[in-house]
Chains A and B, each alone.
Chain A
Amino acid sequence: NAGVTQTPKFQVLKTGQSMTLQCAQDMNHEYMSWYRQDPGMGLRLIHYSVGAGITDQGEVPNGYNVSRSTTEDFPLRLLSAAPSQTSVYFCASSYSNPGTSGFNEQFFGPGTRLTVL
């Protein structure tokens, strides 16, 4: 299993540009989420999904869109990049069925380092 994969690893954007951060998992996890990691602020939840077709907002959703058309993929879209979105982005996934072994242990991707100029 590849686990949770993220692409790209690094990205530089200009203000106003749009882009999509890709996240995929091959563990058949229902739950997937996106976090941003900023110094002194830890991990903040952007959006999450409890299954294909179901998404919800986290703590800092503004400026980001998500969709979940398949169990495996959970892309994060930046609509119009701003310097405040410079951060490291992590995707994570987990089982969400309480009867499943390893329930709620989140598996993280390697992260995408995004710089917005």
Chain B
Amino acid sequence: AQRVTQPEKLLSVFKGAPVELKCNYSYSGSPELFWYVQYSRQRLQLLLRHISRESIKGFTADLNKGETSFHLKKPFAQEEDSAMYYCALRKVGCGYSSASKIIFGSGTRLSIRP
């Protein structure tokens, strides 16, 4: 069964320090992975996806199929990065209906200290 694991419920770092939010997945197939963010009193929104290989707000994430990980990184944390971060996985292939199931991890609350 597909599963997304975010081992840290809370991560607290100082402003300017590097940030790494961990995400591991289990899936026997070709996954599509995402990071979503929820700022205080705002809706969940897409931060980035692995197929785009993009950097959004200074964040990057590399898919490591060998380690089944998709960690989110930023070299220098900013106070506005404080939010709830969710890693998500979409099952690809094996029929139209099942291919669309998108599963989220339990989330990591990132707190940036001034």
Whether the Cβ atoms of B101 and A90 lie closer than 8 Å is no
Whether the Cβ atoms of B97 and A56 lie closer than 8 Å is yes
Interface of A: prevailing SS? strand
Q: What number of A-B contacts does a CB cutoff of 8 Å give?
A: 54
User: Which residues of A line the B interface, CB within 8 A?
Assistant: 31, 33, 35, 40-45, 48, 50, 54, 56, 58-59, 90, 92, 96, 104-106, 108-111
Chain B window 15-41, contacts with chain A (Cβ cutoff 8 Å), 1 for yes, 0 for no: 000000000000000001010100000
Whether the Cβ atoms of B49 and A105 lie closer than 8 Å is yes
A-B contact pairs, 26 of them (CB 8 A): A33-B102, A40-B9, A41-B106, A42-B6, A42-B105, A42-B107, A43-B86, A43-B107, A44-B104, A45-B102, A45-B104, A48-B102, A50-B97, A54-B97, A92-B44, A96-B100, A104-B34, A104-B90, A105-B46, A106-B36, A106-B44, A106-B46, A106-B88, A106-B102, A108-B43, A110-B43
